[in-house]
Amino acid sequence: MFAIGLALLLAADAPASDSVDATVRAAIEQVRAGQNAVALAALDPLADEINQKVAHSDTRYFCAYDTTAMLIGLALGAKDKVTTVALRSTDCDVLFLRGYVLENLNRLPEALAQLRVLLTLAPDNPHFQVEYAAAQRQSGDLSGALASYRHAIELAARDKRHAFDQAAALRGVGYILTEDNDLDGAEEAYRQSLALAPGHPVALNELNYIARLRAKGTRTKGQTLESNVDPAKAKMPIETHP
């Protein structure tokens, strides 16, 4: 009975979903073109509505990108005896993109807050976890970022479809371990990432950098990368429906 009611709810929201999906597609193109502020202006009102809904309701909302996630979410709701509803996948895309754009604009406290909301809706999503870790790293919380990257690795390892996210998280671990002067650990993380994403230029560049550090016998903290590119996110597409 509940599953039927949920299906009807989602069907009734279909026109709105089409509109949101169009906004998401446009925002992705705007971000790719460097128009982050333009994308944010379009995403903000949609995200505000979603954030308000999930924050001020006794209903438990969750992101369901596939049938498995849908069934797990509903089963957990039944176990805990709470009303549980799957958000449209495009709604979750809105929250992810808003966090991504805020990060690009260096509005890190807002980005972290938005990504934390998203992770309550999709705690097992490694792509979202990598993005959250990247925001933590950029905000200077390296210990928190390291824990989040490692959690993303664990989540991604459960499904081969998330190998790219696992590789990205391993690059993030490598970056932070290099910052901590754990060059052996960093090298291992980068090599593991290359096994999942062969030939990735950032991982190769970082391994070369580690080799130079070893040759010099010294390093300057804070100068891990030769550029300002986040090693975890570098070359990662803006993905939705992970």
Q: Are both 12 and 94 inside the same structural domain?
A: yes
* Neighbouring residues of 95: CB distance < 8 A, sequence distance ≥ 6: 47, 50, 51, 114, 117, 118, 121
Please tell me the predicted confidence (pLDDT) of residue 84: 87
Q: Which of 81, 103, 123 lies at the terminal end of a domain, its last residue?
A: 123
Q: How far apart are CA 123 and CA 62, in angstroms?
A: 9
Has residue 35 been placed in a domain? yes
Q: Give residue 81's Cα distance to chain centre.
A: 29
Q: Are both 28 and 129 inside the same structural domain?
A: no
* Neighbouring residues of 229: CB distance < 8 A, sequence distance ≥ 6: 202
Tokens of 42: 């379009």
Whether residue 189 contacts residue 166, with contact meaning beta carbons closer than 8 Å, is answered with: no
Tokens of 90: 């495009």
Q: Are both 48 and 148 inside the same structural domain?
A: no
Q: Are both 153 and 113 inside the same structural domain?
A: no
Whether residue 50 contacts residue 24, with contact meaning beta carbons closer than 8 Å, is answered with: no
Q: Are both 89 and 175 inside the same structural domain?
A: no
Q: Are both 156 and 191 inside the same structural domain?
A: yes
Q: Are both 97 and 38 inside the same structural domain?
A: yes
Residue 88's alpha-carbon distances to 59, 94, 100, 111, in angstroms, are: 15, 10, 19, 21
Question: How many domains does one find in the chain?
Answer: 2
Has residue 242 been placed in a domain? no
Q: How far apart are CA 101 and CA 84, in angstroms?
A: 29
Which of 205, 152, 220, 142 has the alpha carbon at shortest distance from 177?
A: 142
Which of 187, 189, 183, 185 has the alpha carbon at shortest distance from 169?
A: 189
The whole domain housing 199 covers 125-237
Which of 155, 24, 19 has the alpha carbon at shortest distance from 101?
A: 24
Block means of pLDDT (10 residues each) for the chain, 242 residues, are: 38 60 93 96 96 89 83 81 87 96 97 97 94 96 98 95 96 96 97 97 96 80 51 56 42
Has residue 58 been placed in a domain? yes
Please tell me the predicted confidence (pLDDT) of residue 185: 97
CATH (domain of 186): 1.25.40.10
Q: Are both 196 and 81 inside the same structural domain?
A: no
